[in-house]
Homo-oligomer: A and B are copies of this chain.
Amino acid sequence: QGCDGDDPAAATDGTVPTIKIFGYLQTQYDYTFNDIHENTLTFKRARFGIRGKVKDDFSYYFMLEASPFIGGVGSTYLMDAFVSYEKYNWAKISVGTFKQPFSLEVNTPCNGLTTINRSIVADQLVAPQRDFGLIVLGGNKYTKFRYAVALMNGRGLNVVDNNSKKDIIGRASYKLFDFMSIGGSFRYGYPNNNDNTRTSYGGEMVLTLNNLKIQGEYIYDEGDYNRAAGGGCGSEPVELGNKRDGGYIMISYDTKWKVQPVFKYEYFDPNIDVKKIGYQEMMTIGANYFVNDKIRFQLNYQAHIETYINIDNDILLAQIQVKF
């Protein structure tokens, strides 16, 4: 009487190995340097999923977010779920929910970020970070050139599209030299209705000089936006003006003791035309310690810099991540 039909309960036919269970848990301690010394133990992300192949060229990906602090639903929900057709390396196709192919940092796996948080500009302007869509991807980490183009609802997860037009989002990157990659992103969409559009551009660059890595991005965004879509990864969305931009530069170094110090400078301007309100800069000083490829400790100190009215809001974040 269940949905799985009349099959025998136990699989003994060798089909199980094509199912891979995966996930990771990010347990975090946040301390804010303000008057009331806000501090809490919390989860950042708590994800698990199932993936596998069902045929030579067809695979599936099914992942849930169980952290109560991301997504606004307070309980476990389906985050990334898609079917892929991967016959052609230069035109892999996926349909379902996944991240918008915009920005290097947004498209870095959430368990592989060098700082605990993404940059403010990525969380605020590449929103919704996840959405329903159809994506075509080409290349992989071994190719010099990579690209991705997606048609997406533009409304985010857990809702259907409320307008009849789809958003188009794309990103391409190219390895100019062994030590240098550059890339760009583009988005043209309809956040709320069929009339008001949103246009976004992004540029990115990565330099890898032996153990030193320097990564930078710039994002420019204008037009309508959907406040209900929230910020990326549970961040509080801020009010945006008609034009907004931001960027970051991040420097990290792999030492031989499995420790990776990192420094990040970033800024975000939610309204380019009105400089005085909302403009913020932030410096992050941190270190990652990799016990092995499954366990990572992260420590980040975020120095928030408000240009006009200073607020006591520097934050210390400590995270343990375990992958399975």
Check B76 against A74 for contact (C-beta < 8 Å). Answer: no
**Among residues 95 to 133 in chain A, which have CB atoms less than 8 Å away from a CB atom of chain B?**
95-99, 101, 107, 109-112, 132-133
Nearest Cβ on chain B to A204's Cβ, whole angstroms = 16
Q: Report how far A58 CA is from B155 CA in the complex, Å.
A: 40
Nearest Cβ on chain B to A207's Cβ, whole angstroms = 21
> Which B residue sits closest to A60, measured CB to CB?
B322
In the complex, which of the residues B46, B82, B158 contacts A81, with contact meaning CB atoms closer than 8 Å? B46
Check A295 against B69 for contact (C-beta < 8 Å). Answer: no
**Among residues 5 to 40 in chain A, which have CB atoms less than 8 Å away from a CB atom of chain B?**
5-6, 9-12, 16-25, 27, 30, 36-40
- Mark contacts of A117-154 with chain B using CB atoms, 8 A cut-off: 1 yes-contact digit, 0 otherwise: 00000000000000011110100110000001000110
A residues bordering B, Cβ < 8 Å? 1-6, 9-12, 16-25, 27, 30, 36-43, 46-55, 58-64, 66-69, 73-83, 94-99, 101, 107, 109-112, 132-135, 137, 140-141, 148, 152-153, 157-161, 164, 194, 291-292, 294-295, 320, 322-324
* 15 more CB-based (< 8 A) A-B contacts, given A2-B51, A16-B20: A2-B109, A10-B18, A11-B17, A16-B17, A21-B21, A27-B82, A42-B132, A58-B294, A58-B295, A66-B76, A67-B78, A68-B77, A68-B159, A75-B77, A83-B322
